[in-house]
Chain A
Amino acid sequence: MLGQLIVSGLAVGACYSLLALAMVIIYKTSDVLNFAQGEMAMISTYVAFTLMESHHVPFQWAVILTFLFAILLGASFEFVFLRQAKEPTVLGLIIITLGFEMILMGFAGWKWGPDQRSLDFPVSNIETYNLFGLVMSKINFWTIVISLVLMFILFLFFRYTKVGVAMRATQQNQLAARVMGIRTKWILSFTWAISSMVGAVAGMLIAALGVLDPTMMMDPLLKSFASAVLGGMTSLPGTAVGGAMLGIIENLFGGYVSLAFKSVVAFAVIVLMLCIKPSGLLAKHYVKKV
């Protein structure tokens, strides 16, 4: 029972991790907390769904086209809306992303209606694997594998590619990065594109584990915030660990304490973490100097 709960919690947690990673990539670079992340992922998932359902595109091509769409969506949001904000406040930025979230949610509701749909994923969620005496559905297994691979790619990207290093430089000091010849504005658009793509993967996995409808991302959004806070908002490995931990904690709580109040756990985690160690598990804390 315990092992079972941990394993299925890990699969859900992997999805939270991916969504939280998408959020943290943006937060680190531009100090914008992206409330539209969930809805951007949802729209991308709907695009994949439409491609496969109405246009009969094979799965792998649908995924690639969805990635292109997600990249375009993220970069164009940054370009069209965020870049126009002059001297924005924290609240102003939050309002802009919230507004974008509502536009996307409204659009999805208008285009595809409120019906629940299921995304055709080539991995079955009924068949199971047997691993070390634990039963695990195939979809759970592949969710974990895909997330791990994606996280590893992200790690390599940020560590070894030129663009990745430029992104890290922009995070640390935008002005200095610009002086060094980095086109920081391009880097910002690029960050949004990558984040949107990571989010699209998370969206497809969440839709494959559950259902696809315009409000499906409400809950995962809060969970991924909790994961990001748990890992410390600015640390990518911390966020990955935080998501996995949250998934497991939540599942254990659901299994042993109360299933009904499972989704309150995320809030409790946020508040406890912020009260005890606001910097998160794996991030350095900077106190604002006057």
Chain B
Amino acid sequence: MAKEIFMPKLSSTMEVGTLLQWFKEEGDSVEMGEPLFEIMTDKINIEVESYEEGVLLKKYFNVDDEVEVNACIGYIGEAGEKVPDTPPAASGESDAEEAREEVSVEENGEAASAHSDPAENKGGKVRATPAARRVSRENDISLSTVPGSGPNGRVHQQDVETAIAKGAIAVTPLAEKIAADHGVDLKQVIGTGARGKIEKQDVLAYLESAKGTVSEAHAPQAERIKLKGLRKAVADKMVESVQTIPHVTLTSDVDMTNVMDLRKSLLPVIEKDTGYRLSFTEVIMKAAANALAKHPKLNASLIGDEIVMNKEVNIGLAVAVENGLIVPSVKNVNQKGLAELTQVSKELGRKARENKLKPDEMRGSTFTISNLGMYAIDAFTPIINGPETAILGVGRIIEKPVVVDGQLVARPMMVLSLSFDHRAIDGAPAAAFLTDLKANLENPYSLLV
């Protein structure tokens, strides 16, 4: 029996994985535990190993395809075994035949949602009813731009009418034919006909201009980089966070004199102990963990309509990597000493940059710190790493004139920027947390208490 290969669900928030590469071709033999393919989730790139031994019989998806978790992406079995030509529906959904027999309302609801893409099918033909075709013809609408609501994405008359109401691309049949022959995406063509209808000369003009850009090799051209891989994951995550979370950012100046002293005296000790150099980040983490323990609201996660009061204090560290940003999680920060924190943070940072983080090392953070102190940045407005409810932005340490005991003196000052989710936390508790954190840093010996 051929066994399905599923897209693994690697974290509670993972909904889709992007295939980065296949390590095996159809027909290759596969050992149990051998890497089969590499995927990228919203958090991580990871190689997925085979649970089975046999021959890779089928690959349903190509590199850069986004695949829903638990969807079947291929089959492993014995050479010559028959497997379906198209991927079976994800577990929980049944295929069309079964759905017909089972008369189940909720499954059909699920199936319908999966069918919202424009109904392009084999040979580039669109699956559409005769009535949909008639209405699209009468209105010069390109059916390939209309999302179908029927089974297998079939376009119905109502879909075309909805698309017209929303301003679908109007195109004459001749223009559509020319565009299809030249592989022109009609979305790129500007229509000059009535109500923006694309006519023959519009497609020809587009082709002409496209040709022009090729011949004018010396003209400076913008490089176009497709949003994919980690960049896409970061982009999606940021949009989701900004669009769903009402952010409020508080800032506070912190006198780092004592932290600098502390670091100076512990630096050789910790370096001798671990081989790693203590940085301000670890001291700030330690101080933040201490304050988080006293202010559990800032350590909470907002999941669905529940505020989850996390028991562990796990701090995510935003790490800049090539082409993106990833956030490994340092577990139980409040229970770790500075030496251990230094070692763990440095190792996670290195793994992040080398793209070797395990899913477990990306999971479970309850609060995030983003440190831009190595740049000439004082304060900023960090974006919350959902479902966490707060994030701390760390600026540079720079000597500034401050008034101490009536005297103007120069002190190493640092700005902390705390963004919080106003759905879960109000201004006063967030301000109290930041005040305690500032006190912890201005008197780091309190962390020993």
The reply to whether chain A is a binding partner of chain B is: no
